[in-house]
Amino acid sequence: MSQFKVVITDFAVPDYTLESDLMKASGLDVELVRIQAATPEELFPAVADADALIVQWVKITPAVMDQMTKCRVISRYGIGVDMVDLEAATAHGIAVCNVPDFCIEEVSTHTITFLLALNRHLMQHHAHVKSGKWGGPPGGAPTRLSRQTLGIVALGNIGREVARKAGALGVKVLGCDPYVKPEVAQALGIELVGLEELLRRSDYVSLNCPLTAETHHLIGAAQLALMKPTAYLINMARGPVVDQAALYQALVAGTIQGAALDVLEQEPPSPDDPLLKLDNVIFTPHTASWTAEAGEQLRRDATRNVVTFLKGQLPGPIVNRKGMGF
């Protein structure tokens, strides 16, 4: 029997050669088990005696942790850890790690891609030509980017990189983040303001925050009503950061001009979701982080978190470090 059991609970691709090779190269005696659980119930019996989990999307609930007798560390394939109950993990003495520098380049570029597509009315022009027409596309003339304002909600690694790229295009950048000091924002070329002011002044609002109790439905009917009728909402965070029913009503009523969404409240969405029927929304299927290089980094670093911990050392990115007393 191996000294340690590590379970990969779920991942987008079936191959786990990279993870296996890193475990072997570590010198640890590890049994690496791969399952593909979609619900907490499907985790058992595989995780009951696991020393560590590597998780993508399946929820690791308090009930799951109650039944794990040996688990010491959970490593997330990603930045956000909203699928892991952090309070329960801390109470069970389980360290939760992430990959905080994952997909910074990819998601920031995707955000700017959305901004440019919205500014240039790209999807409307594409549909116009595909329908056999030419000249005089709907939507009117775009506004110069240099005369527009981007508001970024959350100035973490990705939000800051979005600001840098947007600034290079001549866009004025506002930022909202209660954890960032004004002098830090100023050094990044960002005017730090409150959420309400950001919503009122921005032509594009980009959500780049984690999903927490604090940010759940951060953008609802009241917040959307503050935005300009010509403004666009870009959600690069998590679907539940936005009240999707309120967003649908705002888009139908013309409260805002449009939206670009990489995430939705329900993923995958129901085929009859009314939001999918709207022409003033651009969708991508939660793929903003996707490049071959980012995927390799994600798998490598998530696995290294586990290896480091099982060797008796502390990985850098422990999300519940304070609660664990490290």
**Residues with catalytic roles:** 238, 267, 286
CA geometry: angle at 111 spanning 82 and 146, to 5°?
Answer: 140
If phi > 0 it is left, if psi is from -120 to 50 it is alpha, else beta; for residue 111 that is alpha
Burial (CB count within 10 angstroms: exposed 0-12, middle 13-18, buried 19+), residue 236: buried
Side-chain half-sphere CA neighbours of 105 within 13 A = 7
d(CA 209, CA 203): 19
d(CA 241, CA 261): 12
State how far the alpha carbon of 133 is from the alpha carbons of 94, 115, 128, 136, in Å: 60, 25, 6, 9
Segment (H or E) for 225: helix 221-226
d(CA 36, CA 54): 11
What would the DSSP string read from start to end of 186-221?
HHTT-EE--HHHHHHH-SEEEE-PPP-TTTTT-B-H
Segment (H or E) for 253: helix 244-253
- Token pair for 110: 């995707």
**The dihedral sign for the CA sequence 252, 255, 258, 262:** negative
Residues of 237-267 as b/e, b for ≥16 C-beta within 10 angstroms? bbbbbbbbebbbebbeeebbbbbbbbbbbee
